[in-house]
Amino acid sequence: MKTKVSIVKCRSYDIDEVQKAVSRAFDLLGGIGAFIKKGERALIKPNMLSARLPKDGVCTHLEVIRAVVRLVRDCGAVAFIGDNPGGSMSPLAVYEGAGLKALASEEGVELKETKGVKIINGVPIAAYIFECDKIINLPKMKTHSLMGLTGAVKNMYGACAGLHKSELHKKYPGPEEFAKVLVDVFEIAKPGLVLMDGIVSMDQGGPASGRLRNTGVLIAGADSVAVDAVFAGLIGVKPLDILHTKEAYKRKLGEANLENIEVFGESIKDSLIKDFEIPGKPGLIATLGPCAKFAARFIKFGPHITGKLCKKCMICRDSCPVSAITINPKKSVIDLRKCIRCMCCHEVCPHKAVELRRNFLARGVGL
């Protein structure tokens, strides 16, 4: 049997429109009741990257979260919400800054904070991940400066507790090896249902400072790998060109072959997103043939702090796994000799003060 994924159009974050679209996305798969049963405890895992408001398009939109909370409650199940944002800010501070605390109060749903960690196969996982019966994964449709795309599989990296994520970036700095870490976490905290928020998406410099796109779609499925594959298909990317999708497929954790995925609702062909720009596209270096390896030595890129935007909040400094950032009244700088290009500083800055700078060759390869 083919893996089922649904695509539903949703043009705005109007509460009624979102509720109808989310319900339809799940109904096309058999209804949310096919996945969540009465009396179960369902963890809703959004992408709460940092304390950014919905208008910034960085986090899973609050109305998408609200819609899922209400559907879970309608099933007679108990919903609670949890994530482990990157950086040094506590989850509760991010929840408040992003507006999630107010939503939780309005809906009467518990917000989880990491109060304990379980080490599973060497990976530190927030203990509350193991207190639920089901996980509902709510990723945001975005690009990622290191991994190309971030979606359903990568969103579960938020199960890894706090600054442990930065330490894993330090230990596994390359995209290929980090993809394995992402899938390690995903395999431990594998969700049973996924809803990707692509009503407004982010391309170019994602996941925190990219271009916002009004793409108007929700993607749902029980298979996170398949949802990511459909996301890739919508923007004209081969799913197995995304390293963590390829790794998860290799481990048989989900379906990445679009021929084996049955799409309900809107078709991929009719929902294509044009000119969605992602980092890592083949470019100049690919045309250099035998000279490519030599030319690669001169590729330079890395994060840079824009002084006029920096608020001296210290979040980037405290989040850096290699202590490469200096913040004081006189300067805010990143020592690129120490920097491992994990891009944690870029992800966690709430003020868009950390930008990625690239020389000519770096731009040529799409970095």
DSSP-derived secondary structure for 146-163: TTEEE-HHHHGGGGB-TT
- Say if residues 220 and 29 touch (Cβ distance below 8 Å): yes
Q: Is 323 exposed, middle or buried (0-12, 13-18, 19+ CB in 10 A)?
A: exposed
User: pLDDT tier at 280 (50, 70, 90 boundaries)?
Assistant: low
The answer to whether residue 113 is domain-embedded is: yes
The distance in angstroms from the start CA to the end CA of the chain is 39
How far, in Å, CA of 41 to CA of 50, rounded?
Answer: 25
Mean model confidence pLDDT for the chain? 90
The answer to whether residue 177 is domain-embedded is: yes
User: Are 291 and 255 members of one domain?
Assistant: no
User: Are 306 and 261 members of one domain?
Assistant: no
> Pick the residue with more confidence: 358 or 261?
261
- Residue 81's nearest CA partner among 37, 51, 50, 46 is 46
| pLDDT tens figures, 79-90 | 999 998 876 678
User: Are 178 and 292 members of one domain?
Assistant: no
The pLDDT of residue 169 is above 70:
yes
Amino acid (one-letter) located at 343: M
User: pLDDT tier at 283 (50, 70, 90 boundaries)?
Assistant: very low
Question: Collapsing DSSP states into helix, strand and coil, what is residue 55?
Answer: helix
| pLDDT tens figures, 191-250 | 999 999 999 999 998 898 899 999 999 999 999 999 999 999 999 999 999 999 999 999
- Residue 316's nearest CA partner among 158, 208, 178, 173 is 208
The answer to whether residue 276 is domain-embedded is: no
User: Are 40 and 151 members of one domain?
Assistant: yes
User: Are 123 and 24 members of one domain?
Assistant: yes
Q: Provide the β-strand partners of residue 9.
A: 217
Question: Collapsing DSSP states into helix, strand and coil, what is residue 317?
Answer: helix
The answer to whether residue 75 is domain-embedded is: yes
> pTM of this prediction?
0.84
CA dihedral (228, 202, 145, 60) positive or negative? negative
Provide the greatest CA pair distance for the chain: 62
Which pair of structure tokens corresponds to residue 114?
Answer: 């990491």
* Residue 96, φ and ψ in degrees, nearest 5: -70, -45
Residue-number span of the structural domain to which 304 is assigned:
285-364
Q: Among residues 240, 271, 302, which one ends one of the domains?
A: 271
The answer to whether residue 242 is domain-embedded is: yes
Q: Which residue has the tokens 């109808």?
A: 20
User: Are 101 and 207 members of one domain?
Assistant: yes
How far, in Å, CA of 147 to CA of 255, rounded?
Answer: 19
Which residues, including other chains, have CB under 8 Å from residue 196's CB and lie 6 or more apart? 138, 139, 140, 141, 151, 152, 218, 219, 220, 227, 231
The answer to whether residue 278 is domain-embedded is: no
User: Are 296 and 184 members of one domain?
Assistant: no
User: pLDDT tier at 295 (50, 70, 90 boundaries)?
Assistant: low
Question: Collapsing DSSP states into helix, strand and coil, what is residue 227?
Answer: helix
Neighbours of 190 (CB within 10 A): 17
Which pair of structure tokens corresponds to residue 301?
Answer: 């890129």
Parallel, antiparallel, or unpaired for β 148-150 and 261-265? unpaired
User: Are 130 and 252 members of one domain?
Assistant: yes
User: Are 132 and 224 members of one domain?
Assistant: yes
Which residues, including other chains, have CB under 8 Å from residue 137's CB and lie 6 or more apart? 45, 152, 155, 156, 191, 193, 194, 195, 224
| pLDDT tens figures, 17-56 | 999 999 999 999 999 999 999 999 999 999 999 889 999 9
User: Are 234 and 353 members of one domain?
Assistant: no
The answer to whether residue 277 is domain-embedded is: no
The pLDDT of residue 284 is above 50:
no
| pLDDT tens figures, 346-364 | 888 888 899 877 665 555 4
Summarize the confidence of residues 306-323 as an average pLDDT.
90
How far, in Å, CA of 178 to CA of 169, rounded?
Answer: 7
Q: Which residues of 73-91 are buried (b: 16+ CB within 10 A; e: fewer)?
A: eebebbbbbbbbbbbbbeb
Count of the separate structural domains present in the chain: 2
Which residues, including other chains, have CB under 8 Å from residue 62's CB and lie 6 or more apart? 54, 98, 99, 100, 103
pLDDT above 70 as % of the chain: 90
User: Are 238 and 334 members of one domain?
Assistant: no
Which pair of structure tokens corresponds to residue 116?
Answer: 């304990």
User: Are 303 and 262 members of one domain?
Assistant: no
CATH of the domain at 105: 3.40.50.11440
Q: Among residues 237, 271, 305, which one ends one of the domains?
A: 271
* Residue 111, φ and ψ in degrees, nearest 5: -100, 130
The answer to whether residue 58 is domain-embedded is: yes
Q: Among residues 212, 237, 271, which one ends one of the domains?
A: 271
CATH of the domain at 325: 3.30.70.20
